[in-house]
Every structure is written in C-alpha cells, then in structure tokens.
C-alpha cells in the first residue's frame, strides 16, 4: 500500500469499530483522518459478552473516559479447577455496562469528527468498491465478518452461551471462572454486574444446543445461582485468525479472530490492536499491521498448544496434575508464580516428567493471558 491514508472506512460499529475510530481520532491527530463507520444495525448496540475487563487494560485506552461505564468493580478473578484448586488473580477488574458504553463511544466518535452511519450493512461484494473509494478499509464486523471474505484466511469460532440472571443473594468479590468438563470443554463463568449476573459457558460443539443449555442449568444449580433468568443468548467468538490484511483492507477484533484463545477475552485484544494500528498509521507504516499483530503477545504462539491441552485433559488429569498445589494459588504479577510455588512445581515435575512440556505451555499461555487478555 503506497497512497497516504486520509479517508478510512470502518465496517462494523460495535466495540472494535468505535474503539478503533476513537483511537485514530485521538489528540493531535484528530484532524488527520476522515473516518466513516458503517454499522448494519439501526443504532450502536452491544453483542453478547461476559463483559469482564481488567483495570490495566481499561487504563490503556485513553481516547475515551470509560470508567463511568463500569457496572461493577472486583478485586480480581478466581479460577477453579477440578479437584478444588483455586487460582486467584489479584488485579482490579470490572464488568462493563457495554449497552451504555458502546453507544456513548459512538457518540464521542461523532463529536470528534467521525461519521457513524447506521442501517449500513456491507456485504463481501461491496468491499472491493470500498477499497477503491477509501484509502483504508478496516473490517470490524465481528466473528461472521464479510470483510474477512475479501481478505481471505481463516479463523476458528466457538459458541458462547449466557444467561442474564437477576442477582438474588449471590455474593462474590471476584469474576469467577470454572474449568469442569461436566459443563464445558473449557470453562463456565459467573460475572456479576450490578443487579444482574452474567452466567455462561463455552459450548461443546459435539453436543446439541439443548444439551449445552442443560449443562448451563446444572452449573447454575451447583453454584446456587437462584435468581430469575431474564435473558438467554448465544454468540460466536472468533480466535486463531491467520490472515489480517490484504492491500488496503485489514481486520480487527473478532473479525480478525483476535480474541484470546485461552480466556476468550476479546476486548483487550481490540484495545491493543487499535493502539498498534493508530501508531503504524501515524508512522506511515500501515502495511506492517499484520506482522505487528502477529509479533505481539495478544497472538502468542503458546495459545494453540494450551487450548489443545485444555481440551485433551480430563477432570481426572487436572485433579492429578494439580495435586501438589496449595488449595489457593495467588497470582499477582509482583512475585513470579514459578518462584512463589517452586516446591509444589518441582514435586509435580518429578511425579509427571512426561507432562513437563504441557505444564510449560500452560504456564506460558496463562501467564501471557493474565496480562494481555482481559
């Protein structure tokens, strides 16, 4: 791509579309670009999400004051594994009221000089014309991306299903994750947000939709989530995207398959990718976008092996391989986890030497994800 970038089309005015628009119009570059967002819906809205995001990530996104849109604040996350191990990640985090946050960002984008067109569905056939009319086209049209069809390549999708439940006596000061094969090949979650709990799981594509909802019901019973279900939704998550750019058309967010494959957190990847893109544009180096994203920890190579291990290990495997760990393992970024739990780790390595490469891959993938995926 050689022409200077002034006119930019963003396809999709969801989280990735508005964050990218705001990031590009930030500060002294406000007048540098003429940006139009094409959103197929009648108004900006939120797609299905657990809505968990860390303070570190939210603080990075300085183009908009997002803190008033935090629905609830937590002291960290807690992740339970079969056998009872609980991993506490001590870091302030939030559930975001995305139904207010995304429209407010769309409004701020327009105030900053961007154009946000609604009822403006773009099909794959429209993309070549857009690429001729605009200097740059950004596909931010989610996991079913039309722009991706033009760019090529593939990504993997997994279905997330979630209930919104009236919060009736369920108290927790953490975002809660539960790895347990009875419910999900990966994990189920309880994320409170004000009067509501987001309770969901990553669905198993080898069983029927009814069976996945039945498993979510069982999970709720076991967790004693007793409030009234007010909404029931399902939506795909895009990850392992392998091609992000073709000439002056590029992909971002779930259209790019940038959601973290291990935690399925996608909002952080949007914030990092928008920042990377804005920086490359300012330096006139947008052709380096795909390379820059694939060199960044949001697409760490350890994720692929980690996901394969999480699927392969049974509940009994998890229980056995964590048997030397303390009941509660704390991760806070202040002391290296390997150093803090050196004794149990050595015991585990000696007892299961054939699994050392699995342990290392998981430690790497979860370590990178702790910083870059939520």
Ligand X SMILES: Cc1cc2nc3c(=O)[nH]c(=O)nc-3n(C[C@H](O)[C@H](O)[C@H](O)COP(=O)(O)OP(=O)(O)OC[C@H]3O[C@@H](n4cnc5c(N)ncnc54)[C@H](O)[C@@H]3O)c2cc1C
Contact residues toward ligand X (CB under 6 A) are: 11-17, 38-41, 47-53, 121-122, 140-143, 146, 160, 162, 200, 235, 237, 253-255, 259, 264-268, 270, 374
- Please report how close the Cβ of residue 255 comes to ligand X at its closest, in angstroms: 6
Helix (H), strand (E) at residue 158:
strand 156-166
Nearer to ligand X, 17 or 114 (CB): 17
At 143, phi and psi to the nearest 5? -65, -20
Residue nearest to ligand X (CB): 266
Nearer to ligand X, 40 or 86 (CB): 40
Distance CA 295, CA 274 (A): 15
Longest Cα separation, the chain: 62
Nearer to ligand X, 188 or 309 (CB): 188
- Please report how close the Cβ of residue 267 comes to ligand X at its closest, in angstroms: 3
The conformation of residue 231, written as its DSSP 8-state character, comes to E
Distance from the first to the final alpha carbon of the chain:
32
DSSP code per residue over 96-135: E-HHHHHHHHHHHHHHTT-EEESS----GGGHHHHHHHSS
- Please report how close the Cβ of residue 100 comes to ligand X at its closest, in angstroms: 15
- Please report how close the Cβ of residue 28 comes to ligand X at its closest, in angstroms: 26
Q: Residue 50 in contact with residue 191, Cβ under 8 Å?
A: yes
Question: Encoding tokens for residue 156?
Answer: 């993997």
Give 90's strand partners.
76
- Please report how close the Cβ of residue 314 comes to ligand X at its closest, in angstroms: 24
- Please report how close the Cβ of residue 234 comes to ligand X at its closest, in angstroms: 8
3 state SS for 253-312: HHHHCCCCCCCCCCHHHHHHHHHHHHHHHHCCCHHHHHHHHHCCHHHCCHHHHHHHHHHH
Question: Encoding tokens for residue 39?
Answer: 């959103």
Q: Give just the sign of the alpha carbon dihedral 291, 61, 199, 76.
A: positive
- Please report how close the Cβ of residue 370 comes to ligand X at its closest, in angstroms: 13
């Amino acid at each position: 791509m050689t022409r200077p970038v002034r006119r930019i089309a963003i396809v999709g005015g969801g989280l990735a579309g508005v964050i990218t628009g705001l990031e590009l119009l930030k500060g002294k570059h406000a007048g540098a670009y003429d940006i139009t967002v094409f959103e197929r819906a009648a108004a900006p809205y939120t797609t299905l999400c657990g809505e968990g995001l860390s303070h570190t990530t939210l603080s990075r996104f300085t183009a908009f004051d997002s803190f008033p849109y935090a629905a609830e604040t937590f002291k960290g996350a807690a992740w339970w594994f079969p056998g009872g191990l609980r991993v506490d990640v001590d870091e302030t985090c939030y559930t975001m009221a995305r139904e207010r946050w995304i429209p407010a960002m769309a409004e701020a984008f327009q105030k900053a000089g961007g154009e946000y067109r609604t009822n403006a569905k773009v099909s794959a056939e429209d993309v070549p014309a857009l690429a001729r009319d605009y200097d740059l086209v950004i596909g931010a049209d989610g996991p079913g991306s039309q722009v991706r069809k033009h760019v090529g390549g593939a990504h993997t999708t997994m279905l997330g299903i979630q209930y919104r439940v009236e919060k009736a006596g369920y108290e927790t000061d953490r975002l809660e994750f539960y790895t347990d094969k009875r419910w999900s090949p990966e994990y189920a979650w309880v994320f409170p947000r004000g009067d509501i709990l987001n309770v969901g799981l990553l669905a198993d594509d080898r069983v029927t939709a009814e069976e996945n909802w039945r498993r979510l019901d069982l999970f709720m019973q076991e967790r004693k989530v007793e409030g009234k279900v007010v909404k029931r939704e399902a939506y795909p998550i895009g990850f392992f995207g392998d091609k992000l750019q073709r000439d002056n058309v590029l992909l971002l967010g779930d259209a790019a398959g940038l959601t973290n494959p291990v935690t399925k957190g996608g909002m952080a990847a949007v914030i990092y990718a928008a920042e990377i893109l804005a920086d490359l544009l300012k330096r006139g180096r947008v052709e380096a976008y795909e390379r820059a994203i694939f060199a960044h920890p949001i697409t760490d190579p350890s994720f692929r092996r980690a996901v394969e291990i999480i699927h392969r290990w049974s509940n009994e495997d998890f229980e056995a391989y964590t048997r030397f760990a303390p009941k509660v393992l704390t991760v806070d970024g202040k002391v290296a986890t390997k150093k803090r739990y050196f004794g149990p780790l050595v015991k585990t390595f000696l007892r299961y030497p054939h699994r050392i490469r699995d342990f290392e891959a998981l430690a790497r993938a979860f370590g990178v994800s702790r910083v870059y995926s939520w």
